[in-house]
Structure 1
Amino acid sequence: MKYLVTGAVGFIGSAVVEKLTSKGHIVVGVDNINDYYDVELKLARLKRITHPKFRFEELDIADREDLANLFNVESFDRVIHLAAQAGVRYSLENPHAYAHSNLIGHLNILEGCRHNQIAHLVYASSSSVYGLNAKTPFATSDSVDHPVSLYAATKKSNELMAHSYSHLYEIPTTGLRFFTVYGSWGRPDMAPFIFTKKILDGDTIDINNNGDMWRDFTHVDDIVEGIIRIADVIPERNTNWTVEEGSPASSSAPYSVYNIGHGSPIKLMDFVKAIEDELGIEAKKNFRAMQPGDVYQTYADTQDLFEATGYKPKVSVKEGVAEFISWYRGFYNK
């Protein structure tokens, strides 16, 4: 089978490419390799993907003509769309970057799928869409109409755009709401990376909301397993579904949305302690108030994904932190 993977030099994207090629699939990966964070890390991820069935194209998905040409030439069977401008806090500083990648880019992917009879589009949403929701665990049947960051709003928009294309053009689409992904080759703007770097460098780490926060930390290996499994579960029309009685995560159109997380949130201070224990260093801490765009807790209800795929995360926080820190020390010679 032939896959297009967007965001192929990203944290999750590069891991998905490795998994797909190891299973014998042909993969074309695209990425614009922007400088939102360390380009050398991105290039290092790309360099380690040496499988002969993988080919990389440096391409911006917001470039409509280039992306359309790629779709026309390659004849993909499935698309795993992970390219996006990430980061809640950065969306406060550079909102237009999110419109460029997350809205225009996503639309171009939908158009490519529309005109090339793609059998299944799997795309990245985010747990951030739950916004002001206080009920936990977060379920895909919950309302997600009150995001607290532009990043979250663009991810909710991605789900709405996908539904319209599923309805109008019979394109099977599946959105995955990722919950706090971490692990080796992770992003430098995420808490596990920031904490580890600062603790090793002897710098002070900032602890938001005075440490009273919970996150559903999910190891990248579990995330990739879920993505690969759901790619084989192609949504179908459900003529019995209605807006009044059906879940917003499904439709009369060939459309689905799932949470993909660990399903067992960890208190932030316990996660910090796991990093401290693995490093053998106590962190210098600056306790501060909740930051704009942040949320108190993330907690995934993954029952729907389990029922569809048998997905069940396996990597514990202790194991995951140890794996990440081992990679970090090796990659940065720390």
Structure 2
Amino acid sequence: MKLKKLCVAIAVAMPLLGSFAAHAVDADKENRVFGSIFGEYYMPDTDKTESAAWDYMKKDWGYGVEIGYYLNEHWALRAEYARLEMQSKLDGTDVNGNRIGFDAMYHLPQMPSIYIVGGLKRFDAAQTSTAVNVGVGYKHFFNQNVALYAEGNRYQGIDESYGDAGIKIGMSYLFGSVVEKAAPAPAPAPVVVPVVAKVVDTDGDGVNDNEDKCPNTAANHKVGPDGCTIFVEKMAAVGDVDIEVRFPFDSAAVPADQRFDVQSLGAFMQRFPESTVAIEGHASNIGNPAYNMKLSQRRADAVAKMLKQDFNIAESRISSVGYGVTKPRVEGSTRAAHRANQRIEAKVTAKIKEPVLR
């Protein structure tokens, strides 16, 4: 289950990382030392969360540091220390521990920002154990020294049978400076022999081919002097986003294991700074309707507060409203209906571009 969630998270993130990579600096990494700090969301195996031997440890956060060395542009070695601030889901007591280990990293030749990582780790949380890890990561360099990275790992126990997972977000610093290489002398400009071409308008958009920078535009699109489609930007709804936040009965606190979709929404709004969201809180049809109306408002406000505090989304871009039991997703008074109706939904509006038609 942990591996499935990790793979889903990485698959969702890859399209965003692909567009982000287009603006990355191609840092010269060969023979340079790097150091990193990171935060990590750690997900123990289900067997650990249900075992007294592992103190019923639950998903929680950790942090750590790394030191490493790039052998060349593709291969690197690193040592890691992580502090795991875990808790027991049985009584909330601390199940803290440490993780130390070594990794080898391989950066893909065609996509050097993406790398594969594997190594050996030693844990001392609840029990002392050894595990091998394998994962994938993305590192974005802003200049020749500073980079942000995200990384997902699967930890497979060797002396104990378990399969944990973890997702890191961190910052790296490459020590040393890059020696500037002399630019090659420019090649002499080729001699261009002017050719007199017959003036035609192949796509019939009113701009001759010799001036048309966008051939084969749609017949119903209005074009500019360069022959390219004219677009207009406007704010439009991109659809209802069910962020799947499920609340315990009579609670407005967002559970730790229900934050992934809220985090995905926060990342989307950071990526599109002109987007806005309307958060709708709902409640199950149990108890007093007036109380449920206030409870649904508190649930909506809790998600709005998380977007503002954790993702720095401006308050002007967020609205929250509670609907109580007035808009049930599932009719009826069954346990399944009540659980389905204890939810948060979101309506996101973002700027889109539409062609101007003739």
TM (norm. structure 1) is: 0.25
- Name which one, 1 or 2, has greater alpha-carbon Rg: 2
TM (norm. structure 2) is: 0.23
Higher share of residues assigned helix:
1
Higher share of residues assigned strand:
2
Higher relative contact order, chain-length normalized (CA < 8 Å, sep 6+): 1
